[in-house]
Structure 1
Amino acid sequence: MFSCVECGMNYAKWTGKCTACNSWNTIHEEKGDASEVSSFFGKQKKNSSKKTSDALKLSEISSIAAGDHNRISSNISELDRVLGGGFVAGSGILISGEPGIGKSTLLLQCAYNTSKAGMKTVYISGEESVGQISMRAKRLGMENFPALVASSGCVEKILKTVSEAGDVKFLIIDSIQTMYLEALESNPGSVAQIRAAAYELLNYCKMQDIVMILVGHITKDGQVAGPKLLEHMVDVMLYFDGENNNYFRILRGIKNRFGATNEIGIFQMVQNGLEPVSNPSEIFLSSSKEDIQGRIAFSTFEGTRPVLLELESLVTPSFIPNPRRTTVGWDNNRLSMILAVLCAKCNMNFSDKDVYLSVLGGLKTQDPSADLAVCLSLKSAISKKPIKAKTIAIGEVSLSGQVRPVFQIELRIKEAIKLGFSEIYIPKGSFKDKKPDGVLIVEIDKIWDF
């Protein structure tokens, strides 16, 4: 049997391209029969004649007590924010990210906090020995670590251990790619092993109301290694983002059955682990009061809160046939669109110039509300005129050159005023409240108006 590692499609023989997801070189052979798995719940036989005839018990939603799914805090504010207020009993959570980004560190801190709060927590590692886990905990300042730890990759042994431990509230598996079932002949990390191991672990934890957190490896394309089915099986999927040479880490909610999916949590890597950043705008904004060419602030909306960032642009003469268009933290195609609009509507010629655009602080954004800030930044860079310090621009720019309003602009403006910005550029007619004293709010209808 051959299966696609991207989507899980089965094939009778090997082929170079998966016809289901159109991926190349993702078809791998699976050894063993997944239909005969000696699981913790009993042996499942392929040709079993036993049939389940018991009817299911149906319940009305209004009759189910809401208290059965109260939130459990991790005592890590940014993690609770991304989860929608905390963990839900019986939920399955998958967290993935680049190697060395801090996944194991965050979960070790989470295990420490939950066990300190009196909830029995089991931390299973298939990658580290118990001694290595202890060494890492002491390095992070966790001297008295009350959580229970073990090193194993066998799912049957893990479930038996958790069952005998009794009253376990949290189970952390690091990582799902190292887990295996003894009944399957394929190696750990194969499609069959990941699918079967995740099913057994999730099924048991849902039956026992245990919060289970799985760590997932990613491929070179940034996707979770293993079948796509794994992402559908879990309740919450989180992605840990950031550069290894950057102090900041961003936890993004990709899927969440119990909360918002567009929420982010920001952490700062310090000596004692990951530290939540409660006000990210203050971290990403420069404290300089100097007027600088091409530098301006803008506001993006991440989840339920506005985050203020700064961007810089640089325009230089080009000596190559195809001038460079380089972006860091922003969409390169959107920069090309903005340059085309400025050329067509404002008579700004960039055809013989290299353009560089960078979002400062290492955060990546796709929010179109940065369009107006990019236009003002490029105008400043090409005209060599600096932008006043404490200036912010918020607005989307269309192909016709119109400045369009953006989502939750009132909250963005209030955040900018709170952080001391004195000059705010916004789309015309988008601010209905009374203009505050000491703050210049400039409304722009077309990009050639500024």
Structure 2
Amino acid sequence: MNYIPNILFAIALIIGIGFFARNVKKLIRNIKLGLDVDVSDHKAQRWKNMAMIALGQSKMVRRPVAGFLHVIVYLGFIIINIEVLEIIIDGLFGTHRIFSSLGTPYYVLINLFEILAVLVFVSVVLFWTRRNMIKITRFWNTEMSSWPKNDGNYILYIEMVLMLLFLVMNAADTHFQNINSGNIISQHIAPLFSSLSESTLHIVERTAWWTHILGILMFLNYLYFSKHLHILLAFPNTYFGKIKPKGYFNNLEAVTKEVKMMMDPNIDPFAAPAEGAETELHSKFGASDVQDLSWVQLLNAYTCTECGRCTSECPANITGKKLSPRKIMMDTRDRLEEVGRNIDANKGEFKPDGKQLLDDYISREELWACTSCNACVEACPISIDPLSIILEMRRFLVMEESAAPSELNTMMTNIENNGAPWPYNQMDRLNWKNE
């Protein structure tokens, strides 16, 4: 018996899964560069969110056309790939359709796989049409050029090819076609190969089989470099997503401690701070680079699907401002990847490169254009929170650089001096009614 195909298959499987595991390890390392944050609360609600949003696609279907097509592709991706288990066993042990011995349940599943393959193919063609021919506006924003634009198309082409290979593999399988059970779609493709000899037909079937499984392994490893990483990360992202009300703004622990010390009558205001106390109270307010963000925010960046729903709902973007919440997430991910490459090049340590997320990737104009309305957070189909990153970067500008816009500085000065945003002293505070 010739074991060479089985050995080659095992090698391909090991390389494919090994490379994927290596990238996953790198991904986890990069996410852990973020600050620690406690997300152990409200476990029941978190599980519910993951079940409803990631598994149930509840927010996707708010836009019915795209939502319906996405559900088809999503179900097809999950269900059709059940057959990968059979392909792996056949590839390793030299069997052929090992689960066919199950009889009726197997053929019912194969019928379902074939129907889904056609539905997925049609859905992907429609997605391609919406993106490239109808040219829906949110797919053509300024940030969706070069790689982001091409990536969206590459993944559609890959899905089309994988579905066609699956159907051709079934149609060219003489033994499977002779059984005439489970071939609800492929039986109509099989006549295209009727003029081929049995040996040639076998080559077509084996070629489709090998290309299909190698394509799946390549697709798996392509995910790390693609926006389609959300296929894997949507589940943890929705679980760790924001539970608190969308208008909630967290207090900095360092500021809280400092205020409490100022209000404590037992503390000597002229006493020198204890050694290390200053560092404990204040390391850095807000965020200027990715390492200043929480690991949940970095997970958000990697999970972004670049669908543009957030940007299409953003009132600042709609009125022509520079801000695009999608770009905020894409820039955060790009900077995080740059930091990761820096660490790789310097044997596990980050070497300062003179760059940061603020100014080098995200401009101050973008940050101050945000109205903090939470429309982007509400629109995201997988619980990504661009606003939290914007607010942390604003916090840095205000508390570290005193670089707020003049209007905001005037308001804060008035609050400090008058106890209100308006330019009246406390004796004349009622004058604000006439403003």
TM-score, with length taken from structure 1: 0.26
- Greater Rg by CA: 2
TM-score, with length taken from structure 2: 0.26
**Structure 1 or 2: more helix by fraction:** 2
**Structure 1 or 2: more strand by fraction:** 1
